[in-house]
A and B are shown apart, each in its own frame.
Chain A
Amino acid sequence: MSRGQGNARRAPVALRLCVAATLFFVITPIILSILAGFVVNYPTGLKSGLTTRWIQEVWAVYGDTLARSIVLAFACLVIAILIGTPCAYALSQIRSRWARALEELLMMPVAVPGLATALALILMYGHFKGFRSSTAFILVGHVLFTLPFLVRTLIPAFANAELRALDEAARTLGANFAQRFLGVLVPAVLPALAAGALMVFTLSIGEFNLTWMLHTPLTRTLPVGLADSYASMRLEIGSAYTVIFIAVVVPTLWALQAGADALQRYFTKNR
């Protein structure tokens, strides 16, 4: 990595202003929402005093959405890894027309707006009432939307020439396909797998476009609950809910990210 630390030039003023403005734009609403979640009365401001009442109210009304979203994100992650990893490997190895077609199909739920995908799903499978009203219906949408990101991260990792040599080495040592895939190939792409998994989790936790259409009153997720609170509750409650979202999701993601980084470091050290 080549970062200009040794000959630290100062950035041009315009560039520094641009960065400062961006930072300000990103940070301000986050701070505002945190404040608003704890003040007694937002229009009056801090003078009205601080309270945890709003947090408690959110917990009472929307507590279930938190658990559901996290379970959903992990379920989505597990499915994506289980079916996406073999798929990415196969796609990295073959150049047949059918494989290319599948790769194209895989990108469609990302390329086409989520609303369209959700609509197609509802109009096709909406009349299976048990399925329609279960969290599995949302899970299908999330897997469709997140899987491409995992597969796309894994394909270059699997196509790596060094990895091909590892595969050949294992073959000459007598390992069959399952032994090579699970014992050599997958461990060797773990950093990419971790990066892709992080992406899947992030996208699933925050997914709204599909989920808003696919959910039922009994299968609300975090973003759905948030939208509901913004539309029907007072501003302080919406803010408190946002605070909870950040307090739960961001540390989870940071922990996952730290894990992925550690893996990456472990693999690149002394290479």
Chain B
Amino acid sequence: MNPDATSISIRNVAKTYDDGTAALKATDIDIKAGEIVALLGPSGCGKTTLLRSIAGLETPDVGSEILFGNENVVDVPSEKRHIGMVFQHYALFPTMNVAANVAYGLKVRGVAAADRNARVDELLEKVRLTAFANKRVQELSGGQRQRVALARAIAPRPRVLLLDEPLTALDAKLKESLRDELAELLRQFGITAIHVTHDQQEAMAIADRLAVMNRGVIEQVADARTLYEKPATAFVAEFLGHINALDCDTLKRIGVESAADSLYMRPEHVRVDVQDRGELTGQVTRIIYQGDRQRALIAIDGAQLIKADVTAAETIRVDQRVGLSFPRERLFALSDKK
């Protein structure tokens, strides 16, 4: 592991704006040295505020503690925190070429030119931009710019790397390839990283653990599989994919006893039988073809609408009568209601 990597502890960090709106409610999270954590949530959930507080670009409320190792940095200005940050719109210095951008963090700290150049060469090679060292940043594509931004943030060997929606400005195809490259590079660097995104695929591909945030609160922190299969809250379940909430009427009809008002099941776990055999029957109201599969909306006779996935090869059409089964091991309860 990278010796510069630091563990980070967020204690009671909150941010209330002057007008009284709470962008972030008192938040705690522990990040191990060398771990990659994603802050995931919709816009306005507080993830960026938390990241910017860690970066020192936002001043959190009094009483907040941000520990880098054992050092509380909450009163340390950003430029003295020794962090690296990658911005959504790159924020590359337009007046400097690629190499000068990457060298900047070393230069302002007074690193000698020879050491600086060696480090720049090393990083440009890592991000496959050696040939672009003397190009102006305006001449690069979006993906190249973001790789320069990454190299620039990493160059001064920061204690933690902060990534603020690093792939959002890129188009879909490029996003996917850069996402995998980024995940690979971060592991090579072995650096502690906090990655803010609203894209669950991106978070799952890059991070070791995901913190799902909503309305200024972290709802759940876990690895991707746990989040998906054992979501703690309805928000987490909904945010990572889709769910069906089976109401007590439906539950009674399939013979499930439950203390909760409703139980949940993901669409891909609902079994659809085109021969009309199953625990319940219903009528297909809509089919959404999604390439690798089809999502059917099925109205259970006299009751609720269920989302269910069938394979792309299956012949299924609107108004067709189908049977539905609900494997018990896939049913789960949630601590709260939406």
Q: Touching in the complex, A and B, CB below 8 A?
A: yes
**Contact present for B108 and A188 (CB under 8 Å):** no
| Interfacial residues of chain B within 61-101, with CB under 8 A of chain A in the complex | 77-85, 87, 89, 91-95
**Contact present for A188 and B93 (CB under 8 Å):** yes
* Chain A min CB distance to B334 (Å): 38
* Chain B min CB distance to A234 (Å): 53
**Contact present for A166 and B93 (CB under 8 Å):** yes
**Contact present for B95 and A172 (CB under 8 Å):** no
Tell me whether B153 is interfacial, beta carbon within 8 Å. yes
* Chain A min CB distance to B196 (Å): 14
A165 to B94, CA, bound (A): 12
- Which residues does chain A contribute within 8 Å of B217, judged by CB atoms? none
**Contact present for A175 and B87 (CB under 8 Å):** no
- Which residues does chain B contribute within 8 Å of A183, judged by CB atoms? 108
- Which residues does chain A contribute within 8 Å of B92, judged by CB atoms? 169
Partner of A172, one of B83, B89, B93: B83
**Contact present for B105 and A174 (CB under 8 Å):** yes
A165 to B89, CA, bound (A): 8
Partner of B104, one of A168, A170, A270: A170
**Contact present for A172 and B78 (CB under 8 Å):** yes
Chain A: CB-nearest residue to B82: A174
* Chain A min CB distance to B300 (Å): 50
- Which residues does chain B contribute within 8 Å of A168, judged by CB atoms? 55, 57, 78, 85, 87, 91
- Which residues does chain A contribute within 8 Å of B79, judged by CB atoms? 170-176
**Contact present for B83 and A175 (CB under 8 Å):** no
* Chain B min CB distance to A67 (Å): 35
Partner of B108, one of A175, A269, A270: A175
A166 to B104, CA, bound (A): 12
Tell me whether A9 is interfacial, beta carbon within 8 Å. no
Interface residues on B, range: 20 to 34
Tell me whether A184 is interfacial, beta carbon within 8 Å. yes
Tell me whether B34 is interfacial, beta carbon within 8 Å. no
**Contact present for B139 and A169 (CB under 8 Å):** no
What's the A-B contact tally at a CB cutoff of 8 Å? 78
A188 to B95, CA, bound (A): 6
- Which residues does chain B contribute within 8 Å of A162, judged by CB atoms? 89, 91
Partner of A173, one of B89, B136, B152: B152
- Which residues does chain A contribute within 8 Å of B80, judged by CB atoms? 174
* Chain A min CB distance to B193 (Å): 14
* Chain B min CB distance to A263 (Å): 10
Given A173-B156, A175-B79, A175-B108, the answer on whether A188 and B94 have CB atoms closer than 8 Å is yes
| Interfacial residues of chain B within 262-303, with CB under 8 A of chain A in the complex | none
Given A188-B93, A267-B94, the answer on whether A172 and B84 have CB atoms closer than 8 Å is yes
Given A172-B84, A174-B108, A175-B79, the answer on whether A166 and B138 have CB atoms closer than 8 Å is no
* Chain A min CB distance to B274 (Å): 54
Chain B: CB-nearest residue to A165: B91
Tell me whether B56 is interfacial, beta carbon within 8 Å. yes
A132 to B94, CA, bound (A): 46
A179 to B108, CA, bound (A): 7
Chain A: CB-nearest residue to B137: A270
A271 to B145, CA, bound (A): 12
- Which residues does chain A contribute within 8 Å of B91, judged by CB atoms? 162, 165-166, 168-169
* Those 5 A-B pairs whose CB atoms lie nearest each other, nearest first: A173-B105, A187-B95, A169-B91, A172-B85, A270-B138
Question: Contact residues of B with A, CB < 8 Å?
Answer: 55-57, 77-85, 87, 89, 91-95, 104-105, 108-109, 136, 138-139, 152-153, 156, 162
List 15 additional contacts besides A168-B57, A169-B87; criterion CB under 8 Å: A168-B55, A168-B85, A168-B87, A169-B92, A172-B56, A173-B79, A173-B105, A174-B82, A174-B108, A175-B108, A183-B108, A184-B95, A188-B93, A270-B138, A271-B94
11 A-B residue pairs with Cβ-Cβ distance under 8 Å, sorted by A, are: A168-B85, A168-B87, A169-B91, A169-B152, A171-B79, A172-B81, A173-B84, A173-B153, A183-B108, A188-B93, A270-B139
